[in-house]
Chains A and B, each alone.
Chain A
């Protein structure tokens, strides 16, 4: 243990030093004796081994790889962790202070409680072969860092540096989920800058119309989707879901003329919910609650079996009133004409006229030229 030295920080400060690999929950042995340095984070760099106490962050040890003579592996046993035996040269007399002044042994052991010893052994052997600590790096990198360049070269270089920084920022943030969560805001901002810059120069992030549409739908996000976890099962869940539907679909419904098939709804809602997927059955159950809750969006099933959601302004009374008025204004109408006039499909127009006829709002004239509807003068003029 006398070859280890205390380390100020865990920054790799030697020129040309870089990170190689890491293993958690590693204990150190002084020869055959267990030391007080247990369950720490062992890091291998090109220049040294470093051990860090997870509980006390300033308790950091390092061991230069130049002292290592050779390695051995000890397999794990029944109640024994796998170990790497590291045989060492004696240290320089002027080495920085370490935890032990003296040791009876000329070797240490690294005990791997959570395995990973094979990979570590392989990496360590490779570093010992490469002896990167012996190569002194040309000090060229320093010059760039001073960064006092003028003219086009300077501009180009500074752009390059920025790009490199962004690149490494992205790679680091996406190393694992916890890092990404930490940097989420920054990454959201970065993604937006990149997207805007590309849009400025190219017009759009992609040519693919589906991807564009997907982006659009995703941007309508529902921040706190109703889930079974948050709202339980049964009626409460369906009720809350119905409210969510009504709120989220208000604008899309208005944009698409007040009516939308249930399949479209299924797609839009699920996109807005992101990863909280809704099953078609869940959707139907929630839609059936819309009327009971008197929400402004309603479920309607056509005779053909087509199911739609529509705005409440599309309710029957309003439709009858509007249709009667339109027919009066035009003196007479066929379903084709109403379809063009109201911007709805021919089938829907016919349905509206038939509905209005049923309550006496209009009268039919059926001839070889088709079905034509007139204002109901029997009702308005005769009385």
Chain B
């Protein structure tokens, strides 16, 4: 009576085999993923190519245009890919700077949840180059400034602030910025706040914190106290609460 497949030995063997199958499975899956990634890259390359070469033909065929846009959307390719060309360079005419404008705003909106709508022009440039795809032309800071200048007719919501030798691009105007509200929330418990506290608590850049605080001083919402080690910003609207907290 020698039956196979029973006993501890058999169980061990079975677990071992299962583990091996599992390994093989993950190996195949990883391999497949890398293949998929390759196909995706190929797709991306082709789409970028077509967007720049066949722009006019694609625009002519409404049905195909929709399909093309859908592909660009799923793969994450920028359909706007005009090259600068002679006339854009000399006179600033043509689609090039308009397209660049769209891309500039896009980067600003995409990063605004982190930087509150303030971005260094060099960071803007590197992010923009990454999102335009590998085949696009190089974009200089000067190109960016030109593109932003063309947005001037859309009001003062989008401004370039010269900071020393470089530039800062502000994409959220005071009217829509929630930064001041955040400052108030941080200051609520003590009635005052310093810039360092603000920067560490909200993970803000120096420039962003300074701008918010200075604005509030200018608007009469905050008072300055220079007696301490670091300048403190007091908010008189919190005084009544502080008083009642001290009394009780």
Contacts and interface: CB of A to CB of B under 8 A. Distances in A.
B235 to A, nearest CB: 8
A221 B74 CA distance: 12
A194 B43 contact: yes
B98 A277 contact: yes
A184 interface: yes
A345 B175 contact: yes
A307 B159 CA distance: 12
A316 B131 CA distance: 40
B19 interface: no
Q: Say whether chain A's binding surface is mostly helix, strand, loop, or mixed.
A: helix
Given A155-B28, A188-B67, A308-B157, A347 B174 contact: yes
Interface in B50-85: 50-51, 54-55, 57-59, 61-76, 78-80
Contact of A195 (B75, B101, B106, B128): B75
Interface string A205-229: 1101111111101110101100000
Given A174-B50, A275-B79, A371-B220, A191 B106 contact: no
Contacts of B118: none
A211 B40 contact: no
A347 B221 contact: no
B193 interface: no
A221 B80 contact: no
Contact of A194 (B39, B55, B62, B155): B39
B224 to A, nearest CB: 14
Q: How large is the interface on A (under 10, 10 to 19, 20 to 34, 35 or more residues)?
A: 35 or more
B175 A271 contact: no
Given A284-B153, A307-B157, A184 B43 contact: no
B95 A221 contact: no
B73 A221 contact: yes
A302 B174 CA distance: 11
A336 B61 contact: no
B233 to A, nearest CB: 13
A312 interface: no
B33 A198 contact: yes
Contacts of B145: none
Contact of B180 (A217, A302, A306, A339): A339
B102 A266 contact: yes
B173 A280 contact: no
Nearest to A333: B237
A329 interface: no
A265 to B, nearest CB: 8
Contacts of B239: 369
A56 interface: no
A91 B192 CA distance: 101
A174 B44 CA distance: 11
B237 A337 contact: yes
A292 interface: no
Contacts of B106: 210, 213-214, 217, 267, 271
A340 B178 CA distance: 9
A283 B59 contact: no
Given A209-B111, A345-B180, A262 B67 contact: no
B43 A191 contact: yes
B65 A370 contact: no
B55 to A, nearest CB: 6
A208 B77 CA distance: 12
Interface in B151-190: 151-158, 171-178, 180-181, 184-185
